[in-house]
Chain A
């Protein structure tokens, strides 16, 4: 039985031996079995990343068009309603941004700074275009572990990665989505949120967070 390399499902094992691993599949006609909680979370993240990439791609295409930017700035303003009186710290903002918004989606980043000024440096970001227009919207494939983001691909647009696999790509791009909502939100709450990219290949996103004068006086 050792040589039988088969997959099994439904019954948890604490060892990874290969054998005749009977599984359990409770199937009733017309009733669709749920994904496990772990896979549900993974699936949601995957779909969210895909949709973010679609939005990012769209924004890059429309960069400079006021209508699109206004739409996201409006979102930023709405998020901030009622939070203007709170005393914000730049290092707290940076830490929470990484923990709550970056890490759940596989974005790796570190921050430095203090209560007045902090800097986030993103070292790995899977968002840019990697899953753009992915057929995963239509079918769950079982190759998720194989599509982990490689550092030398993460800022390359999908056409470059999938068609030529040239590195460095002729045109590197960065994701636009995280640059758009925060500045307007920060202005409303009392901090600045500035984004720039480094000259590294691939480039790294850097976010500078600074409490504004108004906020400091408060």
Chain B
């Protein structure tokens, strides 16, 4: 079964650049495709989004390529189920070629966040549907979301852009009043890069979403309503 995996690498203090440089050179193979690398502002952890259809392949890949890095002290791997690109993800673009004649494309500089939401039992589906229904505004743009297999700490992840810290807080505050949201944790993604082309990223995520949708229709009671 194809899934997206959120991987968070705890990096030894002072070795941030060395570790990041090694991880950003990861290439696909062994049934695993690295999609995105990012650095989390709060803990200086390196975040990875990976795609794989096979858990054992993923385990081999991580052991061989990530856990082999001496300065990666701890690794958290969370599978994301029903990972969806939201409508505004269509505005994400590949980098443009530079040059004096290039059109100036910068409309605004939005900050990139990852919110981890702890959901009350019985409310998974409702909270998920609520997140899917959030419309982008000038200030906040939800990009992608998914269930995180109901870990102790968080059950839902949502990536979003916000114009400012204040706008991000308004967004999270509004989420927190929704019935079923128990707790939240927000990470500012200080830096991120695609490790594959945007086109390939969309293809892989779309395949995951389609499969998740079919699966849900076939056995719709797997996630609490």
Contacts and interface: CB of A to CB of B under 8 A. Distances in A.
Contacts of A14: 41, 190-191
B112 interface: yes
Contact of B105 (A2, A5, A10): A10
A130 B94 CA distance: 36
B180 interface: no
A24 B190 contact: no
Q: Count chain B CB atoms within 10 A of each CB in A5, A10, A19 and give the residue with the most.
A: A10
Contacts of A12: 109-112
Contacts of A143: 100
A69 B104 CA distance: 40
Interface residues of A, number: 33
A166 B133 CA distance: 64
A159 B102 CA distance: 27
B98 A25 contact: no
Interface in B60-117: 88, 91-98, 100, 102, 104-112
Q: Count chain A CB atoms within 10 A of each CB in B111, B193, B194 and give the residue with the most.
A: B193
Contacts of A21: 95, 193-194
A26 to B, nearest CB: 5
A17 B191 contact: yes
Main secondary structure of the interface of A (DSSP, over half): loop
A1 to B, nearest CB: 6
B110 A24 contact: yes
B108 A7 contact: no
B98 A24 contact: no
B3 interface: no
Given A21-B193, A33-B107, A39-B106, A1 B100 contact: no
Contacts of B108: 10, 33-34, 36
Q: Count chain A CB atoms within 10 A of each CB in B91, B104, B108, B110 and give the residue with the most.
A: B108
B2 interface: no
Contact of B141 (A17, A22, A24, A33): A24
B68 to A, nearest CB: 20
Contact of A22 (B88, B98, B194): B194
A23 B193 contact: no
Contact of A142 (B94, B100, B191): B100
Given A1-B193, A10-B110, 20 more contacts: A1-B24, A1-B195, A2-B25, A6-B96, A10-B109, A12-B111, A13-B191, A20-B95, A20-B194, A21-B95, A22-B92, A22-B94, A22-B194, A23-B92, A23-B105, A24-B141, A26-B88, A26-B107, A27-B91, A142-B100
16 contacts: A1-B193, A2-B24, A7-B97, A10-B93, A11-B111, A11-B112, A11-B161, A11-B192, A12-B112, A13-B191, A15-B190, A15-B191, A21-B194, A23-B105, A25-B93, A142-B100
Interface of B: 24-25, 39, 41, 88, 91-98, 100, 102, 104-112, 141, 161, 190-198
